[in-house]
Amino acid sequence: MWTIGDIKAKGKTAFKANYWKSVLVAFILSIFTAGGAGAGRASSSEEDITGSLSSAYGSLDPDAQATLLAILLGAFGVSLVIGLLIHIFLSNPIQVGCYRFFKKNVEEQNAEVGTIKEGFGGYGHTFITLLLRDIFLGLWTCLFVIPGLIKIYSYRMVPYIIKDNPELSATEVITKSREMMNGNKWRAFLLDLSFIGWIFLGCITCGIVLVFWTAPYMQSADAALYLELKNGQQPQ
């Protein structure tokens, strides 16, 4: 049986043993999984900008307003499609590679940053598996937030299993993750919750602590959890 303290201790040991590489990989992972986080930094002038745009829009004749609205909607649609394509074709393989790095680092404590490239090996399998995972998560989230959150924990181990069990099909990978997380989702949630202090500290330091401690620490702990579950340990 695993405990939160043991998992965090193993993650911290591996992280500190390969500190700078862990920080770099966690930073790369954050860029591709939380892209656009800086979109709200200009919020201080948002009201002024919105007011100016509204005034300018109101001064146009109806035909010009319709044209401008069509252009804006088109631009939004294109950006949405581009973002989705980047997520599917680039972010997902990078996520697999980064998770692979942290898993190896917990095992060996000297993983190389180049491990990220392994996420692009067997690209078709990775593409189909994570696309299917994302579709399932989207459908579950549409049923309300709570079912979606539960499924996020159910599918949590998918990026690890893809590389450890390349012989499994996409649906088998997802099923294996769900089986590994059966009886472990609540404890995994509490593991995440135990980092709330570090997350808060990262926020009040403008992300400095998040980059240099919290994010790589959490990823290392997550990899340690995967290895514990892979070894067949079960919660009480």
Inside any domain, residue 130: yes
The pLDDT score that the predictor gives to residue 235 is: 44
User: For residue 208, what are the domain limits?
Assistant: 4-40+93-230
Domain contains 75: no
Residue 50 lies in a domain: no
Question: In the prediction, which pLDDT does 149 show?
Answer: 87
**pLDDT for residue 58:** 60
pLDDT for the residue numbered 138: 85
In a domain, 143, yes or no: yes
Q: How many domains does the chain have?
A: 1
In a domain, 117, yes or no: yes
Distances (CA, A) of 127 to 6, 136, 148, 170, 196: 33, 14, 21, 9, 32
- Confidence (pLDDT) at 139: 86
Residue 59 within a domain: no
Query: What integer pLDDT is reported at residue 221 of this predicted model?
Result: 97
Task: Judge whether 121 lies within some domain.
Answer: yes
Cα separation, 151 vs 164, in Å, equals: 21
Structure tokens at 53: 């745009």
Dist. CA 236–CA 232, nearest whole Å: 13
Which residues of the chain are under the pLDDT cut of 70? 34-61, 63-66, 68-70, 72, 76-88, 233-236
Q: How far apart are CA 219 and CA 168, in angstroms?
A: 24
